[in-house]
């Protein structure tokens, strides 16, 4: 207790870290790079920001083994290129055995994301294969008696919406309503989350003169009022999330769990990429993490915890596209923070670079090579049309805060008694 007595500031820092540690912060862990830390060295970085969930774009065994017995929850993924193969129940069961079952229960895999942004790729073959692939993977989980602990989902671009403003008028594209409805019905039957990739950055980048920077960065601003619901919105991400809630309600589903599987802000970009600066990235991600830690829901769902995965853990130097694509990371390749995150820095051990890329070496898992132009592994989604268009934790937090303050009170009383005795 001596360190707490000598440093009240350190106590406050501990409280802040405890606050983050019980939040539902998620992080996307991409590996399209040749200079990022090894998975073993990623563990302390994830812990340093208080993230309790990770979304992978494959099922990399090195990552899954490195995070064994850490308690961190994982979403593992199957790329779009494997949808046709996953329609076959035997292939799906083989994949689940090799990429999920073998790591349980040491590594806490809780979800499998089948495909990414399939419905907005205008590829009818992929669209036709998506739900059957999801169903086959779920059937495999049932057969292996894993369906109670592992769910199946898929991530969508925000471009599946025909209307997103005002939030109360949110509606799916007419040509996608039937397909989306079938997928949502699957979610309801299997108790799995509906995933959306949402990037307010793209709205600002596309029209910086009209879109308020404070509104997209969670900074103080006058906000907007939805004329139909009369709800007030002080940031764009919440408006986007509630537009999805409205769209789901419009097709008869009011109680689906919506999670934001990707959102973030680049710290650097090309000359024509407005707003891509370290300061804006710091404001967006730090303010977002504060909101997640506060368990603050959206205006339409004020009592629902935010389920958000920040994009991304690292700057990835081999990603295609504009400069911003390679600069969404909270961390640089050497493990240092890309900008101040409000948490202590972590020093990595030597030989921290990963040489394996994102490959897992298992069947039906993306390789370490750069995804082809037709791939939808999740990385290409950053520049897609998507840019345009927990009470238990609370109790734990309060108990922990009470304990720390109680300890501090005891220390204070001991000091006072010692002072009195001296006098």
- CA 282 from centroid of its chain's CA atoms: 16
Q: Which residues are catalytic?
A: 117, 262
Read off φ and ψ for residue 255, nearest 5 degrees: -120, 30
Spatial CA neighbour of 138 closest among 166, 176, 100: 100
337 vs 13: CA distance, rounded Å: 18
Q: Identify the DSSP state of 245.
A: H
Handedness of CA 361, 111, 290, 268 (dihedral sign): positive
Sole residue written with tokens 């059937």: 139
Helix (H) or strand (E) holding 154: strand 151-157
Q: Identify the DSSP state of 294.
A: T
What are the tokens at 127?
A: 């669209």
280: number of Cβ within 10 Å? 21
141 vs 154: CA distance, rounded Å: 16
What is the greatest pairwise CA distance in the chain? 84
- Three-class SS state of 217: coil
What are the tokens at 211?
A: 């879109």
CB 26 within 8 A of CB 310: yes
Helix (H) or strand (E) holding 155: strand 151-157
């Amino acid at each position: 207790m001596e360190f707490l007595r000598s440093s009240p500031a350190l106590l406050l820092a501990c409280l802040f870290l405890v606050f983050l540690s019980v939040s539902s912060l998620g992080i996307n862990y991409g590996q399209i790079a040749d200079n990022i830390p090894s998975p073993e060295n990623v563990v302390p970085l994830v812990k340093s920001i208080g993230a309790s969930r990770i979304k992978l774009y494959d099922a990399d065994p090195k990552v899954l083994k490195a995070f064994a017995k850490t308690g961190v929850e994982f979403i593992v993924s199957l790329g779009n290129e494997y949808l046709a193969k996953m329609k076959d129940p035997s292939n799906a069961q083989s994949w689940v055995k090799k990429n999920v079952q073998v790591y349980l229960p040491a590594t806490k895999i809780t979800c499998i994301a089948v495909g990414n942004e399939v419905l907005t790729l205008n590829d009818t073959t992929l669209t036709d294969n998506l739900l059957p692939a999801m169903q086959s993977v779920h059937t495999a989980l049932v057969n292996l008696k894993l369906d109670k602990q592992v769910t199946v989902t898929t991530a969508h671009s925000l471009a599946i919406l025909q209307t997103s403003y005002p939030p109360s008028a949110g509606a799916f594209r007419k040509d996608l309503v039937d397909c989306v409805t079938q997928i949502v019905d699957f979610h309801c039957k299997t108790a799995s989350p509906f995933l959306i990739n949402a990037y307010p950055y793209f709205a600002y980048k596309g029209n910086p003169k009209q879109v308020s920077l404070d509104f997209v960065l969670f900074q103080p601003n006058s906000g907007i009022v939805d004329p139909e619901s009369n709800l007030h919105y002080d940031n764009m991400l919440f408006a986007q999330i509630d537009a999805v809630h409205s769209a789901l309600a419009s097709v008869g589903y009011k109680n689906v769990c919506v999670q934001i599987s990707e959102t973030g802000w680049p710290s650097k970009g090309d000359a024509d990429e407005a707003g891509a600066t370290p300061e804006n990235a710091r404001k967006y991600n730090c303010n977002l993490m504060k909101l997640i830690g506060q368990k603050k829901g959206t205006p339409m769902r004020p009592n629902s915890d935010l389920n958000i995965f920040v994009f991304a853990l690292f700057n990835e130097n081999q990603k295609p596209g504009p400069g911003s694509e390679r600069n969404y990371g909270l961390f640089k390749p050497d493990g240092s923070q890309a900008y101040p995150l409000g948490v202590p820095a972590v020093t990595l051990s030597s030989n921290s670079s990963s040489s394996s890329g994102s490959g897992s070496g298992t069947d039906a898992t993306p390789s370490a090579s750069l995804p082809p132009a037709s791939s939808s592994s999740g990385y290409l989604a950053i520049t897609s049309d998507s840019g345009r268009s927990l009470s238990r934790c609370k109790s734990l937090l309060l108990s922990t805060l009470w304990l720390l303050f109680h300890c501090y009170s005891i220390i204070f009383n001991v000091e006072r008694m010692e002072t009195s005795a001296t006098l």
